[in-house]
Each structure stands twice: as C-alpha cells, then as structure tokens.
Structure 1
Amino acid sequence: MWKRRAFGWLIICIIGFALLLIRLMQIQLIETEAFSKHNINLLEESVQQRTQELVIDNGRGNFLDRNGVMLTHKKVSVLVLFPFLKKIDWNANKVSEISGIPVKTLKNAVERAKKPFAYGNPKPLELTSSQMERINQLNIPGVFAIEKKFERSEVPAEQLIGLTGENPKEVKRRYPNKELSEKTLLGVSGLEESFDEFLLPDGKSKLVYHVDGSGGPLFGINVKYVDPANPFYPVNIRTTIDKSIQQRAEDLVDQSQIKKGGLVLLDIKNSSILAMVSRPSINKKDPYSGAGITNRMLKQQIIGSVFKTVVAAAAIDHNLDSPMRQFDCSKKINGKPEVQYNYGMLDFTNSFARSCNQTFGELAKELQKDDPLSLEEYAGKLGLTGGVGWQGDVYHTSNFKQLPDEDSGRVFVSDEARKDANMAAMSGIGQNEVRVTPLAVANMMATIARGGKKEMVRAVSKIEYKNRTTMVDFPVQSLGADSISPYTSMRLQKLLREVVLNPNGTGRWFQNLPYEVAGKSGTAETGKYIDGKELHNKWFAGYFPYKNPKYALVAVNLDVLDTEGGVNLLFADMVKMLYEKDKEKSSE
C-alpha cells in the first residue's frame, strides 16, 4: 500500500514539476513580450524593476509651425534630481545658490521622491543657460540641468494636429514588419494619424540609474544617458500654421461664444492653412469621446447663400447676367410674396449684393434646364465638390493625403433631384442637398482671388530631419485643370466686393476695416429645431486685401437661432488682427 501511495505522490510531483516547467518556459521563452491577456512585455518590466529613469524625449517626431516653433510640445531647461541623493552627501547649498530654490525645499523634494523628477513638475522651474552651465559644472551625481521635452497643456489647432494614444493591437496591425514597443504612441486623428509612419520613434532619450531591490545603487552612483544617437530622427513636421495667429484666432472664436463652428484662414499665395479653429474643443479629461475630436472645418455643412457664388459663375459664363435684366425680389423662391426680405426689382449685381433668393433660384432653374449637371460642374470648377487637401505620391506611399478626414462636398445625391426644377432652385441658394466643407469654401475664395488658379490646400509644407534638412517637400500643386476663367474670376471679384460696398449689401458691416474685404454671407436653414425654433448655419466667406489679396477667411457658426450667433464681428476682428500683425512685421 505505501509503495502505491509513494508512486502516486511521485506522479503528482512530476506533473506539478512539468506544469511549473511549462509555466517557466512560457514566461522566459515563449511569451516574454506579450504575457497574459494584458500583453505585458516581461523583458521591459524586468528592466524597469532594476532601473530608475527619466525620459527626456519620447522620440516621436515633432510638429512645428511655419516659423519652426514647436506646437504640441516645448523644450524647457530644467533641474533634474535623482532619489539616491537622499542616501549620499551632496552640495545642496551650491545648487540652491545657483537655482534660487531654498535648500530645505530641495532636500524635502528629494526625500519625497521615489523616481527621478524635474523640479517643479508639472510646471517645472525653467533655468537660464547660465544656470544650466553652472549646475552641470558642479558634477554632482544625480543632479543635472538638461533640456527636457514637455507636452503643452494647450495645443494650438488641436483637431487639425490630432491626438496620440497607446494601443498594442493597433501597433501590430499597422506595422507588422517593424520592431516597435507595445507602448509606442500612435496617431489616432488629424495630422498625427496621417503622418504617423514618419513620426514613429527611433528610441527614447533618457537618464537611467540602476538600483537593487531596495532602491539602492546597483553599480555605484553613475547615471547613464541613453540616446538613439541617430542624427536624422526624430523628424519635424513643418506645418503651415502660424502659431501666434492660430492662438489669437482661437481667442477670438471663444470671445464670439461659438459653441459649434469655427474658422479657416488661408495664405492665398501658397494655398496654405495659417489658422484653423474648430469648436467644441477636445475634452481634456476624455479626449477620444464626444464631439470635440471632430474637426468641423473638414466636415460637410449646409452652406446657404455662399453657394450663390457658384450660380453667379455659371450665370456669367452662360450670359444670363445681363445688366438690363431685372429680377422680382419681392417674391420668394416658390413665387409667394416675400415679406421679410422684400427688395423689389433688382439687377444681377444688386441681387448678389443683397443675396436675393428669387434671383438665384431662377438662374439655377435656367441653368438646370440647359444642363442638369451645370451646378455640379461649376461647384467642381471652384473646388467645392472634391477634397481640396494636398495629396500626391510621397516616398513609397502613393496618393498620400495630408487631410484624410476631409469630406467631399456635393450638390445633389440623386438623378431625380438633379432633373427637378424646384430642387435646382433650392440648390441654387445652397439648401436642399448642397453640402460643403468650410475648408473648401475658403479655398474657393482663394481661387477667385488668384484669378481662377485652383490649388490644393496644404497643412504641411515639408518634413525635416532632426538636423533641419529636408526629407520630404510638399510643393504647391494644382487642384485639377478644370477651373473658372480669369474673366469669370474678375467678374466674381467685383461681385464679392459689391457685397461690402453696397449700402444695402449683406457685407456692408466691413466697409470701414483697415483691409478692403470682398466676400459673401450665408444663412442656411438646417431643418433642426429647438423649442419650436429652427436652427441655422451662419457664414461669412471672403478674402482681403481686395486689390492685393493675401488672406482667404471663412467664419461659420453652426446650429444657432436666426436671431443669434452672427459671425460678422469675428470676421472683422480677424481682419483687424491680421492688419496689425502685418503692420508690425513691415515696421521691423
């Protein structure tokens, strides 16, 4: 009997030992980089248990504004202290004397520390170059003055730049042939996502100190600087954004209390985004949820009377704009009497300046009768029905898009609507099925200001290596060959200017601005209601200075009551701000 029991215990022990051996193999050999359902990297975790480190730079590429200023991060000269200082005698008095931090405060900070830290974090004390040099000359182990990369608490153009996050499964899906840590930051929206492959880190720059189980020094008190030592990475994404203009634009949008909407400002000369503001803002506590992550300047919106610019272009080319012709603007588009906006009989120019619906509904029907595709053709010529963001071949990527989240605009969604005269009339005033992005509207104004030269819109001008040499250029590119003629552009320029100059024009509020403005207003019915009252989209789109165009600007306030939420003041404030900035620049 005892032999059978002994044999049984032996079998149990062998099985237990085998299970332990299998588990050990799983941990040590098989699942070292993706252990358990949580995909824990055991190699990295074991190293972290034996080290204390301070990351100086996470190695991901940087976004710069057009002048080379960092947008998402900033580099700050800081004082770094290591916890092992509490176990050695160090010259805190001298560090205090140079930095201006009281000795007691310094020592208390070290006593509380469990890992290396930048003094004053999350708002670190910024050192001067002289202070940095003097502190480092002390050669105190565990005391360093370094330049560290910090994420900005407020990121300019946050929806355009986009967000990053950790996702081990997505790392493997996107980059199956790259050896990347599962904790690698990936772009999940905006430019962070579209340029993600260029921004991937080659490695982190960090200060590392090896410790034993109790946190004591393992190899003395030497701190090691670890750096990928690649002179070309991380790269810099040189955007076309002007940081100072962007920040001022955001302030003005918020002062206008725009809860849903924003603005787009383009540099007409090179068709580049100088500023882009989208509201609501991203929720800092839960950035991936809610409406804030959506860049509304790249999404289809109901455009309203701004679309009359397209009808005007088509009417000019089809000789429907005779100055002798009169339109009955005492009637609504359906022929019923117009009570609120009864303008009487108006010619083509005054109809545009005063935004008479009857005129452009009638013209749209005439154009539709001649050619059902006419409105779509001219919307395309002005860049409203296709994406306008920069795209082309970049390295091994064909048809690379800077703004992949951009919607394409549209005029109709069905042949039935295309062939229906009443639908055409409603489309002629930017209602019905017409949807356009604010970015495309801004580019339409830039196209008209350039005399019909239609170009792709850039958000990024180039990718630079770490040493600031160019890796990839994004040159100014034509947006298709089919555009309006110089003559049609000239006529539209005069019409857009008349909107402002006309005493009864919808843009007369801009007559006394320091820059001469040309543009078009729009108030679109949305079909949405609150407390029985319909909500509207309010627009003003234009360019300036009129005689020497530099800027194209669109301001839009979405889903507001007809009696509230105008954008005229915002547009005017932007013009004044840009005038003052240009004035300062010219005086330098």
Structure 2
Amino acid sequence: MSFQGKRRIFIILISITLILFILTLRLGWIQFVTVNRAVTTSGRSLEEMSVLQRERGIVLDTGRGQFVDRSGAPLTGKVIWTAILFPVSHGHHEENHYGQIAKLLGTTSEQLKRTWHSLTQPFIWTDSNTHLPLSLSFPQVQQLKKLNIAGLEVAPYVQRYDNHLSGMQWLGFVSQQPELIRSLYKKESDLEHTMPLTTEVGSAGLEKSFDPFLRGIGSTIISYTVDGKKQPMYGLGTRLIAQHNKYYPLRIKTTVDMKLQQKIEVLTERIGMKEGAIVVLDTSNSDVAAMISKPFYNPNQIDLQMGNWSNRALKAAVPGSIFKTVIAAAALEDGISSPTETFHCSGQYGKYGLACWKEGGHGDLTLAEAYAESCNVVFATLAERLGGERIEEVASQLGLGRVIGWQDNSFMGFELFKQFDHEEAGQIFAGGTPKEDDGVKVQTGIGQRDVLVTPLQAANMVVTLLQGGQIHAPRLVTEIQYNNGQTMTSFQPHLLSSPYGGISPRTANIILEMMRGVVTDGTGASLQRAKWTVAGKSGTAQVTVNGKPRNNQWFIGYGPTDHPHYAVAVLVQNRSPESSNQATLLFREVMNILASS
C-alpha cells in the first residue's frame, strides 16, 4: 500500500476515535450532569432528590396564616420548643444518654428506647396526657442540646391552638379533608406541588370562612440526613427548609378583645353556666367584642358527635319575653297603643289556655309597666291587634328572622363571602303555620310557638334600637394583613336593609326608655347593683328537652345608659323551671367586667 493510502486510513481511524471520544463525553455529560440536574415533577433535581431520599424530615410550621385579636395579640400560632427523634442507628449511643434524655422528656429509658428504635419516620415527642408535642422549658432545651445526641433535635414548633377548653367556637378548628383538597385542584400534579392531602384545612368558624386566605405558601421542615444504614451523614447534619416571603402567611385581624373574652369565660365557670351563649357588641357598629359559647370546646380534640364545637351564639333558640320588644315596637309604630295606655291583667287571658306568669295577675298597668313586668296578658292582647304579618314585618325591621352577620356577594371575586360560619336565620313563623290564627298570634306575641332568635340577633336588636332603627351587620374580622403588617384588604362596616323599611327613631327611643324601666321598676331590679347604670329586658322561654320541661333564660340590654358602649345578650339554656334567672345575674356581672375594662 502506498504512503498516501496508509495516511488516509490513519486519518480515518483517528477521526473515528475522536468521534467516539466526543460521544462518550456527551453521554457522560448527559448521565452525570444533565440527568442529575433534570427537574422532576416535584420541582427538584434528581441530585436533590437523591439527598432528600436520605433525609428524614418533619413539619415544624405548616405555613398557615394566623389570627390576632383587635389589639394584635395572637389567637393562634403559639411557638413551643419540642424534641424530635429521627430514625438513626443507635449503636453508638451510650446507655446513660437514654436515661438522661428520658428524664428530660418525662418518660422511662425503656419506653424511649422502644419508641426510638422502632421509628421509620421522624417523631415529635408528645405529652402523654394531651398527646400534643411536649412543650419544653428553657432549662430542658439547654440540657438536651448540650447532650448533642445524633438523631435528637430540639426545635421551635408552631402549635396552632392552646391545649385548653374555651368558649371561642367562633374561631373554629382545622382538620384533614382530602376530598376537599382534591376538589381544589384539577390536576394531580398541581395537587402534589401545592397542597398534600394530609394538609389540615378550615372545618368550622373563622378557620373555615377564611380558609382561602390562610393556606399559606409552604411549610417549614426540619430534616436529618442519614446514609443507607441509617447512620448520620456528618457534614450534612440538620437542615431547615423554609419558605421566605415578606407577604405570606397572611394575618386575620378580628374584632374580639381577647382579655375581655377570657374574663367572661372565667365568669361563666364561676357562676356555673352549663349551656348557652353570651354576645357583647360595640354599640357604634355591632362589632363583636366577645362571644362565648357553652359548653366549651378544645380545638385540638374535636368530637363531631358531641357538638360542643358548634357556636350557640349563632344558633336559634326560643326567645320568650325578650320578643315582647318586637311587639311593643310594632304597637308603637302602628299607633295601636302608647306607653301610657292602661290594661288589666287578672292572671288569665281567658282563651287559648294562656296565663300570666304572675299568679293572680298584675292588675291595672300601662304598656310601659307591662314591658317592665313582662306581662303575658298585655302582649297577647297587642299581638291579636297587630296580626301575624305585621309582627313578622317589624321583626325584620329589627334584624330578626334572617342572617345578619357581615357578608358580601362581590368580595374579591367570591360568589358570597360570609364571616360567620353556620349562622342560623331563626324564624317568626314556621312554614305552613297560619299566621293570622288568633291562637298562633297570642303565643307568638310572648315569644313562644315557632319563634326562634339567635343570641347574635338579640344583641344586634339592641344596637339597632340604639342606632335609631338602623340595622348594622355584625363583624368578627376587620382586615386581612400581609405578614409585614400592611393591609391586604379590609371589611368596612355596613348597614342592612329590610324590605319593610325601619322603625322610627322615636319608637326606638321609647323602647330604650322602657328597657330602663325594667331595671328601675321591673324584673331586672337586681341590676340596680351593677357598676354601670344599665337597661334591658329579661325573658324566660318554655322548651322541652328529652321529654322534660325546661327553660331558656334570657337577658338583653345595654350600658351605661347615659352613653352606651356595649350591647349584651345572655342566653342560658336547659334550666330547671324552678331555678332563678341566671341570665340576669350573668348580664350584671358581664356589665361589671365591661365597666372595669
């Protein structure tokens, strides 16, 4: 072969070798660089995923937004220090370390070892009584950190609720609802990126109403890296993975005065209130200053069957004589009676089986005196004069028989946004009831038969009178704030209208003065000992509970009378017919708390 031929073959071989070398480099690049850095469906590279597979992590903070009271004091999101155990090999642990750790965690060495050795996932050490993460004191934290034990970390943990009973059912609770989360996202890949199915979402109260704003942008996770034999990978150690955003999570600012709320809760325990509700409203705009529901609930331990998670302040109950406020207002509005008109009460109405609560009757008395003494005979008489339709109309003018909590059908794109979860509308007449039947009218006139009113409506009716007949929509939340304190959006106070208009300021003022007479000369005489001069109306409704006759006891009113700051409604349910009116006593003590605040 000639020299040129040999040279040509040599060049071809060199070219082929070079091409193979380049291809090898390219394949190496793809395998070791490009593939490792490829983004997976979780948004992480394969290289990152390989590290994460060796990591064992636990959520310290879900990233859910928090609630604060009207002064900014936190209502949720308490930070505690707690111990976290990671699944690691324990061959290098000294026996005395188990004893030291166990003592600090309030357990035995045997229990600690049994729990720790069986772990396949990270575990937050829990309190044996509450089953919530164990809250460590500062000295305990320092001692545990000083031990420097592999697989044991002490970290700040965000505990959403305090572990105690309270009457804050308006706050609600969170729980896992996988089906709800699935319904929020059309694609499974979106769901994986955005919200795990185990995420807790709002299930009642404000937690439910404001859930779309509370979901946050991601969790804070603490992780511990181990090798294939569950040995700690020194140099990698503990990692904290957190989302950093100056705007999120959001903060929901409520109208509630937490100090006032807690004082009234303590009061209900001291007085022995078992069932019912107390509502305190600001008389200027119907903002909720405090709202207590009994029996209390623990948002960490919800039993849906027990029902104590339900907010009784928003549930309709038979009102009894506080409904006489509606009858008096209707009679004054229509001019069919006046405060000075004289009636006669013999104790019996003479028909429909109606009797006055006072045996032997009240004798001769004016409308104002009948309201102060809560005379059934006088208000049965007025109800017959008015007619069912008119009673229902004036009830609407005072904010009864319908939902009154703050809501908006154009708020930030929501079809209908409600602040109050599970608020009941109540009723004056049930469907199918003959409103113009005299017997029906008479029973309705004293707040019995079909009439149902919520404590929120009852307190708001007092505000309506104080505002000259204007109905305000009660609020529980004033604004949503970004994490940096700036306002994202606010909920402006607004008025509610009735298709029947409103009562006149003149009528409202007469009723308010009649409420003053209840305290000076009527059934609320014990309130004369209150720190403030107060006014109101008592009520006792006859109900049946489990086949037994029981009473709903009410008192609604305002104070101080010369410059009203607060309207209050108290409902005590399921009381013995022979018992004294506990609602009146509670009203006085609530007013005393308000006077001292």
Q: TM-score range by the shorter chain?
A: 0.7 to 0.9
Q: Which residue of 1 aligns with 2:179?
A: 169
- The amino acid of 2:461's aligned partner reads M
Distance 2:536 2:214 in 1: 39
Contact 2:82 2:133 in 1 (8 A): no
Contact 1:141 1:221 in 2 (8 A): no
1:361 matched to 2:380: yes
Distance 2:362 2:213 in 1: 57
For residue 526 of structure 1, report the CA deviation from its aligned partner: 1.3
Q: Percent identity?
A: 33
Q: Which residue of 2 aligns with 1:507?
A: 524
Distance 1:271 1:331 in 2: 38
For residue 399 of structure 1, report the CA deviation from its aligned partner: 2.4
Q: Which residue of 1 aligns with 2:7?
A: none
Give the 3 Å change call, closer, same or farther, for CA 340–361 of structure 1 in structure 2: same
Structure 1's unaligned 5+ residue stretches are 1-31, 34-44, 94-100, 583-588
Distance 2:576 2:176 in 1: 41
Q: Paired residue for 2:159, among 137, 150, 173? A: 150
Q: CA RMSD in A?
A: 3.5
For residue 258 of structure 1, report the CA deviation from its aligned partner: 2.8
1:123-164 per-residue CA deviation (whole Å, 9 max, x = no partner) reads 423449xx99x9999999988775431131126444211121
- The amino acid of 1:499's aligned partner reads V
Q: Which residue of 1 aligns with 2:62?
A: 58
Q: Paired residue for 1:291, among 282, 307, 314? A: 307
Give the 3 Å change call, closer, same or farther, for CA 46–377 of structure 1 in structure 2: farther
Distance 2:51 2:550 in 1: 58
Distance 1:46 1:489 in 2: 73
- The amino acid of 2:371's aligned partner reads F
Give the 3 Å change call, closer, same or farther, for CA 508–47 of structure 1 in structure 2: farther
Distance 1:306 1:321 in 2: 19
Distance 1:497 1:432 in 2: 28
Contact 2:166 2:296 in 1 (8 A): no
Give the 3 Å change call, closer, same or farther, for CA 528–76 of structure 1 in structure 2: closer
1:241 matched to 2:241: no
TM-score (norm 1): 0.79
Distance 2:205 2:531 in 1: 35
TM-score (norm 2): 0.78
Give the 3 Å change call, closer, same or farther, for CA 183–46 of structure 1 in structure 2: farther
Q: Which residue of 1 aligns with 2:389?
A: 373
Q: Paired residue for 2:334, among 300, 310, 318? A: 318
Equivalent position SS for 1:212: coil
Q: Which residue of 1 aligns with 2:291?
A: 276
- The amino acid of 1:305's aligned partner reads S
Distance 1:191 1:485 in 2: 35
Equivalent position SS for 1:374: helix
Contact 2:316 2:453 in 1 (8 A): yes
- The amino acid of 1:320's aligned partner reads I
Distance 2:66 2:286 in 1: 23
Equivalent position SS for 1:161: coil
- The amino acid of 1:153's aligned partner reads N
Higher CA-based Rg: 2
Distance 1:537 1:158 in 2: 21
For residue 173 of structure 1, report the CA deviation from its aligned partner: 2.0
Q: Which residue of 2 aligns with 1:479?
A: 496
Q: Paired residue for 1:442, among 443, 459, 465? A: 459
For residue 287 of structure 1, report the CA deviation from its aligned partner: 2.1
1:418 matched to 2:427: no
Task: Identify which range, 564-573 or 184-193, moves more after superposition.
Answer: 564-573
1:309 matched to 2:319: no
For residue 89 of structure 1, report the CA deviation from its aligned partner: 10
Give the 3 Å change call, closer, same or farther, for CA 140–67 of structure 1 in structure 2: farther
Aligned counterparts, 1:209-220, within 5 A: 209-218=224-233, 220=235
Q: Which residue of 1 aligns with 2:169?
A: 159
1:350 matched to 2:369: yes
Distance 2:380 2:50 in 1: 72
Q: Which residue of 2 aligns with 1:74?
A: 78
Give the 3 Å change call, closer, same or farther, for CA 184–433 of structure 1 in structure 2: same
Q: Which residue of 2 aligns with 1:188?
A: 203
1:205 matched to 2:224: no
Q: Which residue of 1 aligns with 2:244?
A: 229
1:576 matched to 2:592: yes
1:346-399 per-residue CA deviation (whole Å, 9 max, x = no partner) reads 10110000000111111111111xxx4211111111101111100013211132
For residue 267 of structure 1, report the CA deviation from its aligned partner: 1.8
Q: Paired residue for 1:265, among 280, 288, 291? A: 280
Equivalent position SS for 2:170: helix
Equivalent position SS for 1:569: helix
Distance 2:360 2:54 in 1: 77
- The amino acid of 1:383's aligned partner reads G
Q: Paired residue for 2:413, among 384, 396, 421? A: 396
